[in-house]
Amino acid sequence: MDLSYTQEQQEFRKEVREFLAENLPSRISEKVRLGKRLVKSDTQEWSAMLNARGWLAANWPKQYGGAEWDAVQRQIFEEETCLAHAPRLVPFGLTMLAPVLLAFGTEEQRQRFLPRILSGADWWCQGYSEPGAGSDLAALKTTAVPDGDHYVVNGQKTWTTLGQHANWIFCLVRTSADVKKQSGISFLLIDMETPGVTVRPIVLIDGQAEVNEVFFDNVRVPVENLVGEQDKGWTYAKYLLTHERTSIAGVGFSDAALATLKHVAAHTMAGGSPLDRNPHFAARMAQVEIDLMAMRTTNLRVVSAAAKGQAPGAESSMLKIKGTILRQELTSLLRRAAGPDAMPYLPEFLEGGDNTDPFGPEHAPSAAPTYFNMRKLSIFGGANEIQRTIIAKAILEL
């Protein structure tokens, strides 16, 4: 074993750091640093910069324009971009759909869709959950009925993150009804500009409409938009979810949140001394840091063990559970650190259009909304309860 970074890895970190210093606009990183809300163009602008450098698709093969980084490089990149307060990359095309197309799509589909993900021409969203199919995803009811060289899609998806910005959605649809529920599912790519697609925003607990309902009313989808074989979609769906879970672990986000928390705690006076001198608060902060130090290595161990370009198996559920617990605890500590200044709800400040005095320290207005928003981490991508069931079955064989 050797925990030290190689010369090349250290060079790579330096290169990433320099790129960030030169390219990441402070207008955008300030928003991320203060937990303000990003607009579509912020994400697009940053993605275009990374793409120009060849760094947008970290895990894709080089032949499709990817960086083809190994696990350590990916971790270094995530750490550096998070610490520099770069916007989160939208994962739906890059780290969810693309691995599925690379593994199960046709070459024609790869050539058609992958370049448009890189260029930003397409913004993808995920059509998995339905009102009656959440944790029990395979219970989904949205149907796709073959009709000549088309499928006719009817049904409803929900919790579609950033669906309001998307022009394409990858969907799990039911193509066979009278079989075991996992066996009749297909993986379909749908152009959201097709007649019959309606998107309705859902306002959440933090006041944002980050997720949507997507309705399909006799939507005609060309058969060439089917990925892999009809009725084999569940296999692809699970493959995608394993990739998704790995990125939800979010060690880099936790690193950045911890750095922010330490800064805030050092500059917040509580009972006559800085909050990081308060034994109870300091203990809780230290506990998270200790867990995070181990988590970084757990993440690397699991991701390194998987074959190149592949996602880990059931171990990804472990990363998802532990990673989301830590991220949520960090948002809870940041909320507590803000004290009474966590109370005002200042949407104008959070939207970034107003830089007036936020009634307290600059980090305070987003503290409670972010705490509430991040409750989603233990729910989406397969609730943490489902991850525990996966581990119990697949690893413990219970």
Tell me which residues are annotated as active site: 244
Burial category of 7 from C-beta neighbours within 10 Å (exposed 0-12, middle 13-18, buried 19 and up): exposed
Taking CB under 8 A as the criterion, the residue among 101, 117, 342, 391 binding other proteins is 342
Taking CB under 8 A as the criterion, the residue among 192, 239, 281, 295 binding other proteins is 281
* Residue 294 Cβ vs other proteins, minimum distance, rounded to whole Å: 23
> What's phi and psi for 83, nearest 5 deg?
-65, -25
Question: In the structure encoding, which two tokens stand for residue 173, read together?
Answer: 């649809």
Q: Which residue has the tokens 């307290």?
A: 360
115: contact with other proteins by CB under 8 A: no
Contacting range for other proteins; rule: CB under 8 A; set: 61-69, 237-245, 279-287, 311-319? 279-287
Q: Give, as ranges, the residues between 194 and 223 that touch other proteins (CB under 8 A).
A: 202-205, 207, 211
For other proteins, the closer of residues 99 and 134 by Cβ is 134
Question: In the structure encoding, which two tokens stand for residue 243, read together?
Answer: 């990739």
Amino acid identity at 2: D
135: contact with other proteins by CB under 8 A: yes
* Residue 270 Cβ vs other proteins, minimum distance, rounded to whole Å: 5
Question: In the structure encoding, which two tokens stand for residue 297, read together?
Answer: 């290595």
> What's phi and psi for 179, nearest 5 deg?
-130, 175
For other proteins, the closer of residues 138 and 306 by Cβ is 138
For other proteins, the closer of residues 179 and 203 by Cβ is 203
272: contact with other proteins by CB under 8 A: yes
For other proteins, the closer of residues 205 and 293 by Cβ is 205
Q: Which residue has the tokens 């750490």?
A: 79
* Residue 200 Cβ vs other proteins, minimum distance, rounded to whole Å: 12
* Residue 359 Cβ vs other proteins, minimum distance, rounded to whole Å: 6
Distance from C-alpha of 230 to C-alpha of 187, rounded to nearest angstrom: 8
Distance from C-alpha of 328 to C-alpha of 325, rounded to nearest angstrom: 5
Let me know the angle formed at the C-alpha of 235 by 139 and 124, rounded to the nearest 5 degrees.
Answer: 80
310: contact with other proteins by CB under 8 A: no
For other proteins, the closer of residues 52 and 139 by Cβ is 139
The contacts of residue 389 (CB under 8 Å, 6+ apart) are none
* Residue 280 Cβ vs other proteins, minimum distance, rounded to whole Å: 5
Burial category of 352 from C-beta neighbours within 10 Å (exposed 0-12, middle 13-18, buried 19 and up): middle
The contacts of residue 319 (CB under 8 Å, 6+ apart) are 245, 246, 248, 249, 298, 299, 302, 312
Distance from C-alpha of 150 to C-alpha of 164, rounded to nearest angstrom: 25
First to last CA, the chain: 32
Are 173 and 218 a contacting pair, CB within 8 Å?
no
User: Which has the closest alpha carbon to 91: 140, 124, 128?
Assistant: 124
Taking CB under 8 A as the criterion, the residue among 10, 11, 106, 139 binding other proteins is 139
Are 197 and 215 a contacting pair, CB within 8 Å?
yes
Taking CB under 8 A as the criterion, the residue among 194, 238, 332, 362 binding other proteins is 332
x/- map, 241-270, other proteins, by CB under 8 A: ---------------------------xxx
* Residue 351 Cβ vs other proteins, minimum distance, rounded to whole Å: 15
For other proteins, the closer of residues 76 and 288 by Cβ is 288
Distance from C-alpha of 225 to C-alpha of 8, rounded to nearest angstrom: 41
Taking CB under 8 A as the criterion, the residue among 11, 198, 345, 351 binding other proteins is 345
Maximum separation of any 2 CA atoms in the chain, in Å: 75
For other proteins, the closer of residues 43 and 129 by Cβ is 129
For other proteins, the closer of residues 105 and 369 by Cβ is 369
* Residue 251 Cβ vs other proteins, minimum distance, rounded to whole Å: 22
Half-sphere exposure of 344 (CA within 13 A, CB side): 15
378: contact with other proteins by CB under 8 A: yes
Contacting range for other proteins; rule: CB under 8 A; set: 7-15, 38-46, 83-91, 383-391? 383-391
Q: Which residues make up the interface to other proteins (CB under 8 A)?
A: 129, 132, 134-136, 139, 158-159, 202-205, 207, 211, 268-272, 278-281, 284, 328, 332, 335-336, 338-346, 359-360, 368-369, 371-372, 375-376, 378-380, 383-385, 388
